[in-house]
Structure formats: structure tokens, C-alpha cells
């Protein structure tokens, strides 16, 4: 008690007036959750939702803006700003928009607001541009009807825009300009923007006029705490309600805690995989590629490096993706079979370089050492190379020289999650702009084509399953694992990690007593 | 005096120009920011267009001349990733770093004066030996480890101070300790060594024989005489700490320049790197200018040299 007293005394000592953090406005009646503070690993680059659609940006955007369509906790598509949608031509989707909604500044929400978002998102300075490449045009039909035209028939179009596409208030946007809007955003969402101290926190307060009913919290604070163990400490200490990206190493600290607990997702949205350079002689033999896969003990990696917070893989797609096929199990660990396959293949030079980036692949040093040791056991002669992230990616993108500076086997991640089929497609399609390993297979290309054009769930699912099976049989990848998302959660609230890694305040509730 | 300041200002200008040029060249060597922005579905034309926005398609000498031209008017360009003016972003994060660095140094200095004096006066006593072993610890303990231990013990276990964050005095304490321990140890040793030197001087003996109170001798005769070496070390430490605050800022979620710069480097955000290098060079140059002027104030002989 004494300790607590000392702390509050210190807390009340103001620094200088200009350094005070933004305070959250309090309404007359406190909402059931009070103020929710979320300790995140990264600050945003912009608050303009049309300029960035990465997951950590959407944590904040989801509160200020509303998505056009959304996903529920089971990854099912649900209406939001759009009440219904239909395909009126092979390449045209028609959206009916909700009526009677206002932006937080009083502007009425109309179809042109969504069109503005799309137009801004497609500009060269937008980091959302790649995900909108499928869209050729947005057309306003009437105030509450919008047509979106895609580049040819795209069956997975709806998946790719769910929880990404939203709306910008045209009058205000025109008045302040894109740059200023990125600092002072206005949306239709349940929380209004209050302040942003870069590198420190973004403060939001509840929007009492929200069309979807009273928001559950008085305010939401996104607090940037870059260090993983500091995030864990912040939640354990009661300073934060939720902590993102907790290192598995920190998990035991929560076992004995009365203030906070760990919640982990069931699958991972940032799978780790290995790419075998298909243009090098050693990997042209399928048996060698299979041997590489059989030699690596994924379960041991998951158990040791991730303390069990991971899931071994045996296919391209991660659990939360539509292309995931539950019938395909994880790759078995069978060094004896690997050895005999290598003998059969009769490779003379067994030297390979294992290459990984520091940063995008967590614990790259430890991971490459384990994989190298596994591969050495079956007879490979492995040398390891670790690069800083952007050096590594520069080598991958050196398409002019066929990636000559990339190691024979490189370890990388991809951003998965629902709606990220395009990512896998870019990685494995012959013409994909992320096909760094030069994997060309006519059959695989055909399945992708089929999946893109099949608007019926059945044939599409079938094409994707055939694709998964084909790649599993072809083994161009060293299938590795999905690291689970590990969150620290205060015992003051009830909340469970979602499959899509989103933080939605409406999912939270007061702790069950 | 004014001639002296003018001369120093000119040489400061040369130093800053040099730093900015070196950073410009080095940043171009470490990689291409656009390579990090490529997303699935982008065409070669999209990528070229992206490059053109930041002038990255122009030959490097041309990029440099354009950069110098606008930098002279205070325009360092827009951040590649954040789309906001780079200099503004740097200046926004500067106060937090200055606050942390000054608090760490000021605390270290005050404490070092007390501890160093005690150690010098009680030379070879138990107290002196204990203090000196502690300074050895202070100089050798890695600051990230100290920072993590402080969080673990002070915040998580005893709940005395917040583990991370920014805004109130209580948030400043732990990062300032983590950052200030090294200069504290260094300054304590320096104060002790310099004082021992001064204490054996004739004028101190004379002052003693006149019956002046020991604390007055310490403050008036001894500390004034060691001030010059202290100012030199502090001016150098200030620059070092500004650069070294990165780790401390990261662990304590302190929204300072160190973190901004590290993020900018890993994203190859050239405009922020350039604006940041300019601001740091300016601060360091100003600090050493202030130190030089302070010498002249402390010791009149320097003024006329």
C-alpha cells in the first residue's frame, strides 16, 4: 500500500506543461470498459486509412473508421458500411451503402466517400496501392450505391477488401488536404481522434453519436512500447489493458500473475517458410527438396524457440486462410528417409547456403543454426548467412540477375491472414512479382487461374485444394511453421485472440467475476 | 570575444555541411527504400512512379544539389513512409531526447560532485574504496541490462515507478537512471582525481591555515578549479548520450529522436535520416560552442588568449 502511495505522488508531479500527454475526455456516464490502453510494438506511419492497410494500422483505423465490409471472429464476411453487395457483371461488384450515417464532423456518408477512399488508396504515395491493384475503377451510381470494377473477374475480391476498405469525408478531406488529414483524421467509426504524439501514443475518445450504438469504452489509447519485455511489464503492472506481440519467452511471467494473462491465437498470420532457389542445380531434383523437408524437425523448433506457441506446417497456406486444406498434415520429420532419398538422387556437391534476414524472421540466428544442424545430419554441407532486413530484400528483388546473391535456401515470412491469397499467389505464380525462387509450374499457374475465375465457393475451393496438394508434392518450399500471435491481456477485461489478429473493442467485455 | 564566436560559428557551419554530406552519401549506399515498399500486384511502372516521387530516379549528384538547395531553405523533404515534413518529425521528437539526456547528465553531475568530493576528502577510506568499486560497476554494466533490471525490480516487483512511457516526472526517473549511470561513474572518478590534485596545491594549504571553513574551501577554491575539465567531459558526454539514448528510448518507450532515427534507417527513409543528422550535428556543435564560451567565463585567462 505504501509503495502504491509513493507512486501516485510521483505520478502527480507534472513535468512541463508542453509535455503533458493528451487526456481522454470523460463523458457524464462512464462506459462499461472505461479507458482501454493497448501497448503496441509499432507506431503508425499515417492516420489516413487510405494510405496504409497493414494490420497494425488497422488496429487503430477500425475504431476511427468503419470498414465497408468486415469479418467476424470466425472469419465470416459481414456487412458494415455496405449493407449488401452483388456481382452485376464478371468484373463489376455493386455495393448498397448504409443510409443515415454521418461522419464525426457531421458530413453525411455517401457513395462518393468510398470512392474517395479508393482513389486516394490507388495513388502512388499510398502503401495500400498494391492491395488495390485489382481495382480499375470505382463508380458512384447514386448516393448510396457504388460500383467497383476489377481488372478481369476476381473471385477473391471481397476477401481482399474486408476490413481494409473504408470511407473518407470528401468535404473535410478537400479542405485540409491529404497531408493534414493524415494527422487529424475523421471517420464514421465509434471513436473520435483526440491526439497523436508520435512514438508515444494515439488517443481516441468515444463517439456518442455512433450509428452502431454506444461504444463500449470511454476512450482507447494506442501506446507504443517497442520493447517486448516492456510491453509485458506494462500489462503485468496494470498500465496497459492489452499488449501485442508478446515474446513466448515472456509467457511464464504471466503464470503466477493475478493481474494479467496470456491469450494466444489458434493459428498464425505470419508464417515462416523456406524458399529453395529452383534455378540452382541442387534443387532441380524433387528428391533433394523432399529430403530438405524431411530433415527438419519443426516440432522441436516450435517447442524450443517458440515455447510451444507455434504450429508446424506442411502446405503453403496458414490455418486462417481460405486456401488452407485441413486434410494436408504437417511435414513429417524423417531423417532416415531423407538420407535414402539423397542417396537415390546421388547428388555430388552437397553444399548449400542458408540465408535469412535479421528482424522479419524472429530469432533468425537460432533458427538458422537449428535448421543447419538438422540438414548437416542428413549429409548437407551448410553455410549460414544472415543479412539485415533491407539488404536481404534487395537481394531477393534482384530479378535482373536471377537472385544470384540469395542463398540456395532462404528463410522468410509472408503476411497471411484471411484475404491474403494474393500474397501466396505472388509467391508461387510463374508471373508473380514475389516469385523470388523462380518456381515455374504450368499446373500451379492453371489452378491459380481457375481459383481467380471461380465465383462459386465449391469449384474455387477445389482449385485451391488441388493447388495446395500439388505444391506439397512438388516441395519447392521448406515448409516450416506458423508462429501463434501471443497477447498479454489484463484480467480487468474478457477478451480472446482472434484468428485475423484484429483488436476490436466491441469484442471486449468486463471481466467475468 | 565576438571575433571568437564568429570564427567558431563559421567552423560549425563547415562541420554541419560535412556531416550532412556524409549522411547523404552513406544513405544512398545502404539500399533502396522503394525495394521495401513493393507489394504484390505492383507493376514495374508503379515502382518507377514511386521512385520519381522522391526524386530517387535522378542521378545522385543531381539529387544532392536539389537536396542542398531545399535544405538551405529549411526544407528537408517529406518522409518517404510517413508523408510528413522530415524536419518537422525530427524537431517533434527532439525535446523528448533533450529532456532525457539533460536529466541524465544533470543528475549525474550533481551526484558526482557529492560522491567524488566525499571520496577525495576521505581518500583511501572504506567509503572511498566502496565508491570506486561502484563506479567500476557503473562504467561496465551494459545499459540495456540495467534498464531491464530496473523495470523488473522497481516497476514490476515493487510497483514504485511506471515501467515505460512518457509524460510525467515519474516516467523520467528510470530512463534517466539507466542513461545517467555511465556518466555518473565517469564523472565521479573525474571529480575525485581532479580534487586530489587540487587538494595538494599550496593555495589550499594557505587557505586552510587561514582557518577558512573546509566546505568553503571545497566550493570556492577546489570545485572552481576543476570546473574546466568537468565542462569538457560533459560537453563530450552530451553528444555521446544523444546518440546512445536509442536503447534506453526503446526499452522505456520514450518517444525521442533515437528511435525515430533507427526506424528511419531500417526503412531507408532518407529525408528523416538527413534531417536527423543535421539536427544532431547542430546540437553537438552548439554544445561545444557553449562549452568554449563557458571556459572563457570560468577562466578569464582563456578570454584573452
- DSSP code at position A359: T
- Distance from the B168 Cα atom to the nearest Cα atom in chain A, whole angstroms: 5
> Which residue from B82, B99, B160 is facing A6, i.e. has the nearest CB?
B160
Interface of B with A in 215-274 (CB under 8 A): 250-256, 259-260, 266-268
- Distance from the A309 Cα atom to the nearest Cα atom in chain B, whole angstroms: 24
pLDDT at A373: 97
Please indicate if any CB of chain B lies within 8 Å of the CB of A14: yes
Please indicate if any CB of chain A lies within 8 Å of the CB of B32: yes
pLDDT at A24: 44
Task: Give me the phi and psi of B266, to 5 degrees please.
Answer: -70, -20
pLDDT at A512: 74
Please indicate if any CB of chain A lies within 8 Å of the CB of B12: no
> pLDDT of A416-446, one tens digit each?
887 788 889 989 999 888 999 999 999 999 9
> Which residue from A130, A223, A394 is facing B42, i.e. has the nearest CB?
A130
Burial of A17 (0-12, 13-18, 19+ CB in 10 A): exposed
Q: Average pLDDT for residues B186-195, to the nearest whole number? A: 93
- Chain mean position to CA B199: 32
B294 closest CA partner among B232, B219, B218, B226: B232
- Distance from the A399 Cα atom to the nearest Cα atom in chain B, whole angstroms: 12
> pLDDT of B43-98, one tens digit each?
778 888 888 888 888 888 999 999 999 988 889 999 988 889 999 999 999 999 99
- Three cell numbers written together for A223: 501506446
pLDDT at A1: 36
Give the angle subtended at the CA of A393 by the CAs of A388 and A396, to the nearest 5°: 130
**pLDDT > 90: what percent of chain A?**
72
Please indicate if any CB of chain A lies within 8 Å of the CB of B41: yes
B256: nearest CA in chain A? A199
Question: For residue A18, is pLDDT > 50?
Answer: no
- Distance from the B38 Cα atom to the nearest Cα atom in chain A, whole angstroms: 8
Question: For residue A14, is pLDDT > 60?
Answer: no
Q: Average pLDDT for residues A388-403, to the nearest whole number? A: 86
Determine how β-strand A82-89 pairs with β-strand A69-71.
Answer: unpaired
- The more confidently predicted of residues A156 and A356 is A356
Please indicate if any CB of chain B lies within 8 Å of the CB of A139: no
Task: Give me the phi and psi of A224, to 5 degrees please.
Answer: -85, 115
Residue numbers of the domain that contains B133: 101-256+281-298
- Chain mean position to CA B292: 17
Interface of A with B in 185-244 (CB under 8 A): 197-200, 223-227, 229-230, 233-234, 236-237, 239
Question: For residue A29, is pLDDT > 60?
Answer: no
Contact flag B41-A131 (C-beta cutoff 8 Å):
yes
Please indicate if any CB of chain B lies within 8 Å of the CB of A425: yes
Residue A441 to residues A427, A444, A476, Cα–Cα distance (Å): 12, 5, 10
pLDDT at B303: 62
> pLDDT of B260-284, one tens digit each?
988 888 888 999 999 999 998 899 8
CB-CB contact of A137 with A152 (8 Å)? no
Contact flag B253-A200 (C-beta cutoff 8 Å):
yes
Is residue B228 situated within a structural domain? yes
B262 closest CA partner among A196, A128, A226, A55: A226
Is residue B245 situated within a structural domain? yes
At A428 the three-state DSSP class reads: helix
For A398, what's the count of Cα atoms within 13 Å in the CB-facing half-sphere? 15
Is residue B79 situated within a structural domain? no
Which of A76-80, A94-98, A129-133, A461-465 shows the lowest per-residue confidence on average (mean pLDDT)? Answer: A129-133
Is residue B28 situated within a structural domain? no
Contact flag B159-A7 (C-beta cutoff 8 Å):
yes
- Distance from the B243 Cα atom to the nearest Cα atom in chain A, whole angstroms: 17
- Three cell numbers written together for B143: 545499459
Q: Which residues of A touch B36 (CB under 8 A)?
A: 389-390, 393
> Which residue from B35, B83, B163 is facing A182, i.e. has the nearest CB?
B83
Which residues, 6 or more positions from A329, have their beta carbon under 8 angstroms from its beta carbon?
A314
> pLDDT of A242-270, one tens digit each?
999 999 989 999 998 999 999 999 989 89
Q: What is the pTM of this model?
A: 0.86
Per-residue confidence at B304, pLDDT binned at 50, 70, 90? low
Which of A103-107, A317-321, A366-370, A406-410 shows the lowest per-residue confidence on average (mean pLDDT)? Answer: A317-321
Report the domain count for chain B.
1
Is residue B207 situated within a structural domain? yes
Q: Average pLDDT for residues B167-172, to the nearest whole number? A: 90
Is residue B205 situated within a structural domain? yes
- Three cell numbers written together for B278: 543535421
Is residue B35 situated within a structural domain? no
- Three cell numbers written together for B159: 510497483
Interface of A with B in 282-301 (CB under 8 A): none
CB-CB contact of A481 with A319 (8 Å)? no
Task: Give me the phi and psi of A84, to 5 degrees please.
Answer: -155, 165
The 10 Å Cβ neighbour count of residue A300 is: 13
> pLDDT of B193-212, one tens digit each?
999 998 888 888 888 888 88
Is residue B78 situated within a structural domain? no
Tell me which H or E stretch contains B297: helix B270-298
What are the start-end ranges of the H helices in A214-285? 228-236, 252-255
Residue B197: which CATH number?
A: 1.10.3720.10
Interface of B with A in 143-162 (CB under 8 A): 148, 151-152, 155-156, 158-162
Question: For residue A497, is pLDDT > 90?
Answer: yes
The DSSP line for A81-135 is SEEEEEEEETTEEEEEEPSS-B-TTSPBP-HHHHHHHHHHHTSTT-TTGGGGTTE
pLDDT at B54: 83
In B86-139, which ranges are E strands? none
Please indicate if any CB of chain A lies within 8 Å of the CB of B30: yes
pLDDT at B41: 66
Contact flag A394-B35 (C-beta cutoff 8 Å):
yes
Q: Which residues of B touch A45 (CB under 8 A)?
A: 81-83
Residue A203 pairs in a beta bridge with A195, A221
Place of cell 546540437: B283
- The more confidently predicted of residues B152 and A338 is A338
d(CA B60, CA B51): 13
Amino acid at each position: 500500500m505504501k509503495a502504491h502511495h509513493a507512486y501516485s505522488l510521483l505520478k502527480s508531479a507534472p513535468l512541463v506543461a508542453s509535455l503533458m500527454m493528451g487526456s481522454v475526455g470523460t463523458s457524464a456516464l462512464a462506459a462499461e470498459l472505461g479507458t482501454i490502453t493497448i501497448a503496441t510494438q509499432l507506431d503508425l506511419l499515417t492516420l489516413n486509412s487510405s494510405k496504409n492497410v497493414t494490420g497494425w494500422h488497422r488496429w487503430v483505423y477500425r475504431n476511427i473508421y468503419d470498414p465497408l465490409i468486415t469479418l467476424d471472429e470466425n472469419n465470416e464476411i459481414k456487412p458494415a458500411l455496405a449493407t449488401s453487395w452483388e456481382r452485376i457483371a464478371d468484373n463489376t461488384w455493386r455495393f448498397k451503402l448504409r443510409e443515415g450515417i454521418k461522419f464525426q464532423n457531421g458530413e453525411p456518408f455517401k457513395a462518393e466517400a468510398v470512392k474517395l477512399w479508393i482513389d486516394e488508396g490507388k495513388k502512388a504515395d499510398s502503401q495500400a496501392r498494391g492491395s488495390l491493384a485489382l481495382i480499375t475503377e470505382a463508380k458512384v451510381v447514386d448516393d448510396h450505391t457504388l460500383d467497383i470494377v476489377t481488372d478481369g473477374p476476381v473471385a477473391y475480391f471481397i476477401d481482399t477488401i474486408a476490413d481494409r476498405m473504408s470511407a473518407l469525408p470528401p468535404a473535410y478531406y478537400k479542405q485540409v488536404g491529404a497531408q493534414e488529414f493524415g494527422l487529424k483524421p475523421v471517420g464514421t467509426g465509434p471513436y473520435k481522434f483526440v491526439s497523436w504524439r508520435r512514438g508515444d501514443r494515439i488517443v481516441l475518445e468515444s463517439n456518442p453519436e455512433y450509428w452502431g450504438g454506444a461504444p463500449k469504452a470511454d476512450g482507447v489509447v494506442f501506446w507504443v512500447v517497442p520493447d517486448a519485455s516492456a510491453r509485458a511489464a506494462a500489462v503485468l503492472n496494470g498500465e496497459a489493458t492489452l499488449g501485442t506481440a508478446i515474446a513466448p519467452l515472456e509467457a511464464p511471467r504471466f503464470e503466477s500473475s493475478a493481474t494479467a494473462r496470456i491469450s494466444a491465437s489458434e493459428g498464425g498470420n505470419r508464417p515462416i517458410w523456406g524458399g529453395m532457389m529452383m534455378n540452382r542445380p541442387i534443387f532441380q531434383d524433387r528428391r533433394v527438396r523432399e529430403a530438405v523437408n524431411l530433415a527438419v524437425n519443426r516440432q522441436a523448433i516450435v517447442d524450443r524457440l517458440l515455447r510451444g506457441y507455434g504450429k508446424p506446417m506442411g502446405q503453403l497456406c496458414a490455418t486462417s486462410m481460405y486456401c488452407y486444406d485441413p486434410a494436408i498434415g504437417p511435414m513429417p520429420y524423417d531423417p532416415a528417409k531423407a538420407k535414402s532419398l539423397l542417396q537415390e538422387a546421388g547428388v555430388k556437391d552437397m553444399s548449400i547456403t542458408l540465408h535469412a534476414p535479421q528482424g522479419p524472421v524472429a530469432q533468425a540466428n537460432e533458427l538458422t543454426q537449428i535448421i543447419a544442424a538438422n540438414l548437416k545430419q542428413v549429409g548437407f554441407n551448410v553455410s549460414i548467412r544472415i543479412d539485415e532486413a533491407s539488404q536481404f530484400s534487395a537481394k531477393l528483388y534482384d530479378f535482373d540477375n536471377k537472385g544470384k546473391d540469395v542463398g540456395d535456401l532462404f528463410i522468410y515470412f509472408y503476411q497471411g491472414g484471411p484475404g491474403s491469397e494474393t500474397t501466396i499467389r505472388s509467391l508461387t505464380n510463374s508471373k508473380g512479382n514475389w516469385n523470388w525462387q523462380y518456381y515455374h509450374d504450368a499446373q500451379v499457374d492453371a489452378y491459380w487461374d481457375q481459383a481467380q475465375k471461380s465465383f462459386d465457393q465449391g469449384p474455387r475451393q477445389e482449385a485451391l485444394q488441388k493447388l495446395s496438394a500439388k505444391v506439397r508434392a512438388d516441395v519447392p518450399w521448406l515448409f516450416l511453421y506458423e508462429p501463434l500471435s501471443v497477447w498479454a491481456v489484463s484480467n480487468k477485461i474478457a477478451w480472446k485472440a482472434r484468428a485475423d489478429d484484429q483488436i476490436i473493442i466491441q469484442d471486449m467485455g468486463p471481466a467475468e467475476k | 570575444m565576438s571575433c571568437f564566436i564568429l570564427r567558431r560559428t563559421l567552423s560549425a557551419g563547415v562541420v554541419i555541411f560535412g556531416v550532412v554530406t556524409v549522411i547523404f552519401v552513406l544513405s544512398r549506399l545502404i539500399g533502396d527504400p522503394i525495394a521495401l515498399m513493393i507489394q504484390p500486384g505492383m507493376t514495374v511502372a508503379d515502382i518507377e512512379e514511386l521512385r520519381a516521387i522522391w526524386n530517387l530516379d535522378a542521378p545522385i549528384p543531381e539529387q544532392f544539389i536539389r537536396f542542398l538547395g531545399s535544405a538551405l531553405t529549411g526544407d528537408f523533404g517529406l518522409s518517404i513512409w510517413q508523408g510528413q515534413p522530415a524536419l518537422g518529425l525530427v524537431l517533434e521528437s527532439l525535446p523528448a531526447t533533450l529532456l532525457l539526456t539533460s536529466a541524465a547528465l544533470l543528475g549525474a553531475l550533481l551526484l558526482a560532485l557529492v560522491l567524488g568530493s566525499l571520496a577525495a576528502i576521505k581518500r583511501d577510506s572504506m567509503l572511498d574504496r566502496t565508491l570506486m568499486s561502484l563506479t567500476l560497476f557503473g562504467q561496465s554494466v551494459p545499459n540495456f541490462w540495467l534498464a531491464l533490471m530496473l523495470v523488473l525490480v522497481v516497476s514490476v516487483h515493487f510497483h514504485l515507478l511506471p515501467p515505460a512511457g512518457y509524460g510525467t516526472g515519474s516516467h523520467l526517473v528510470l530512463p534517466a537512471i539507466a542513461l545517467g549511470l555511465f556518466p555518473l561513474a565517469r564523472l565521479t572518478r573525474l571529480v575525485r582525481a581532479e580534487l586530489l590534485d587540487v587538494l595538494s596545491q599550496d593555495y589550499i594549504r594557505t587557505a586552510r591555515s587561514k582557518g577558512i571553513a573546509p566546505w568553503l574551501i571545497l566550493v570556492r577554491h577546489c570545485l572552481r578549479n576543476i570546473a574546466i575539465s568537468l565542462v569538457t567531459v560533459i560537453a563530450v558526454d552530451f553528444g555521446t548520450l544523444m546518440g546512445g539514448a536509442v536503447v534506453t528510448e526503446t526499452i522505456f518507450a520514450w518517444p525521442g529522436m533515437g528511435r525515430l532515427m533507427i526506424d528511419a534507417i531500417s526503412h531507408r527513409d532518407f529525408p528523416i535520416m538527413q534531417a536527423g543528422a543535421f539536427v544532431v550535428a547542430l546540437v553537438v556543435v552548439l554544445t561545444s560552442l557553449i562549452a568554449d564560451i563557458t571556459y572563457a567565463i570560468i577562466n578569464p585567462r582563456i578570454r584573452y588568449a
